[in-house]
Amino acid sequence: MIIVGGPASNGIDEKLSEMLNVKLIKAEHKIFPDGESYIRIPESVRGEEVAIVQSTYYPQDKHLIELLLMIEAVKNLGASKIISIIPYLAYARQDRRFKDGEALSLKIVLNLIYESGSDELITVEPHKPDAVISYFKGNVKIVDPTPALAREIKKEVENPFILAPDRGALERAERLAKELNSPYSHIEKERDRTTGEVRIKEAPHLDLHGKDVVLIDDIISTGGTLAQASQLSYNLGARKVIAAATHVLLVNDAYDKLTRAGIKSIIGTNTIKVENKNVKIADISDLIAVKL
């Protein structure tokens, strides 16, 4: 096997190469003055199984096109099998047509990756794993980042209580609670029918006195839901609140919003290149390595 590292591999390519003791080829890449991407694989991969590492965080479309260019180049060089390792899979939240006439973005993105020549896809906790598995025509391996997140969370809390900010995140909270051997629960979100605004419902049944609450989600985007969940947790007696998520996008003023809401630590993973140095990053490379 050979690892090919793309422009958005975020160091995971190097870690995989070391852990597995396999050759790493860094893709040559540049952006032309007009904005187009250029990709070249500078060494032979003929007859080899090649794992291309390229995440698709912002700018998603550029990183996606770069991935497709790498797959094409690797295929043309005669690789025997191509595995795309996409730690953060863009467009995973548009996993169905919520309204007639919508593009099913996840499906088309997965089709592009497959049709370009990728036989297998490895990705870390996509929004809906089942949707990824059903839309990608090749083999799919899903990486559960829970062990890596748990390692970092342990450093931050003493008496953890795992709280999912909505019912959909409950299964994720359960996985983390098992890893940390701690209690867990979830709260409820409701969407205002007129304004479209998301609100966290009261949860009078929950007693969080003396607890270090760990809010867990798959993605932190604008941070609105987690900020409300933090305030609610303090209202319910929490001693401290931290937030953990697989993919920390932190859009716009999300970091300030979370800090103002009393969140003391934010923990993410290296599926995303997080620019904010205050976010603690758990490395998921070892969890990818065991899938190869």
Question: Of the residues 81, 189, 264, 273, which is catalytic?
Answer: 189
CA distance between the termini of the chain? 9
Separation of alpha carbons 215 and 230, rounded Å: 8
Site for its own copies in 163-222 (CB under 8 A): 221-222
* Binding status of residue 274 toward its own copies by CB under 8 A: no
Separation of alpha carbons 82 and 30, rounded Å: 23
By C-beta, is 93 or 264 nearer to its own copies? 93
The CB-side HSE value for 136 (13 A sphere, CA atoms) comes to: 29
Comparing CA positions, the residue from 264, 268, 204, 266 lying closest to residue 239 is 264
**Least distance in angstroms from the C-beta of 204 to its own copies:** 32
* Binding status of residue 73 toward its own copies by CB under 8 A: yes
**Least distance in angstroms from the C-beta of 212 to its own copies:** 29
Query: CA 88, 89, 90, 91: dihedral to nearest 10 degrees?
Result: -140
What DSSP assignment string belongs to 198-262?
EEEPP-TT---TT-EEEEEEEEESS-HHHHHHHHHHHHTT-SEEEEEEEEE---TTHHHHHHHTT
Q: Which of 23, 97, 154, 191 binds its own copies (CB under 8 A)?
A: 97
**Least distance in angstroms from the C-beta of 209 to its own copies:** 35
Is 94 assigned a ligand-binding role in the annotation?
Answer: yes
- Whether the CB-CB separation of 142 and 126 falls below 8 Å is answered with yes
* Binding status of residue 36 toward its own copies by CB under 8 A: yes
**Binding mask of the shown chain, residues 109 to 148, with x at each position contacting its own copies by CB under 8 A:** --xx--xx--------------------------------
User: Is 26 considered catalytic here?
Assistant: no
Q: 100 is written with which tokens?
A: 């007639």
By C-beta, is 109 or 180 nearer to its own copies? 109
Q: Which of 21, 33, 195, 277 binds its own copies (CB under 8 A)?
A: 33
Active site residues: 189
Site residues (vs its own copies, CB under 8 A):
28, 33-43, 58-62, 64-65, 68-70, 72-73, 76-77, 90-91, 93-94, 97, 99-105, 107-108, 111-112, 115-116, 221-222, 249, 251-252
